Structure 1
């Protein structure tokens, strides 16, 4: 599996690492107790990590295609996916480092560590995810957090209150190591999406960290 990525001139380093979370994090309160934090460029060497995760075989991620039923017809999910549970080995050591840093930084608010990592590979602008909240498990009834690290080509992640609402959409273009954390009631009272785009765009990987029993 080969993907052509237009790298960032600001991230031409081979060493993959993480910057501090003590500075550079911007919080935006939403409504109903929801909020988002954004830390631009949290992960350095994002292009190098993208290459590692898309090598395929034992060296990368065994990306999987899933199918779902829409309008009484089974169709392929418009992106590739891989979920790693708490007991599985993860494909790159920087992911475990990121989990530890996120768990330490949000320990007081979250009250528990991040334990799992899920990944979505958007191959081009035709790949997307529709409006949804991560409400499987405890997230349907409890406040929680989902942390997303974006590597590869920048794509828009949009948020809106459940049920919509004119003029209330929040939009962030994420890529090249940016971090976005959705917290509070965000998974229950807001929904998010990565819309399709007709603009030529390269591949992107969304790396999602979640606590136990949150999907």
Structure 2
């Protein structure tokens, strides 16, 4: 048997491995050849025969051959319109640190800003306060410049108004959370009922 395998391997090297496999497993008892179908079909582009190799040696382009592999690429993105580019450049020019919309400060924050500046004006400069409070330097300048102070009654009224708004916001959020919780519980209960009817 070994002599047959070596003779086959010298005559055709490609077929030798297949013949050796068949010779070994067809002679051993209990190890008959079975097709388990564990591998997929080999793509035609990977199968090369002598005829195909002769065809490729001749002067033929890859697109002419039936086994040419097409390399599919994702389509290129359309170019960015001129207006968008111009807008992006203008925004970068006007706002080098990025766009930061105006932000309102509470009365307590404004008082804290004034107090910090009064304590140490050299350290708490306008740009530093603008950066820390995340507002524009112009807003800091206006807050520091303003001398208006609410009266005691006005201050109490503003604080009360702020508390009411905060409490309303908290109540609204709690209501939304309760609604989502009840909705989730109802969906879970309906799912359990559906499973019970199937069982």
Shared fold by TM > 0.5? no
Bigger helix fraction? 2
Bigger strand fraction? 1
**Structure whose alpha-carbon radius of gyration is higher:** 2
TM (norm. structure 1) is 0.15
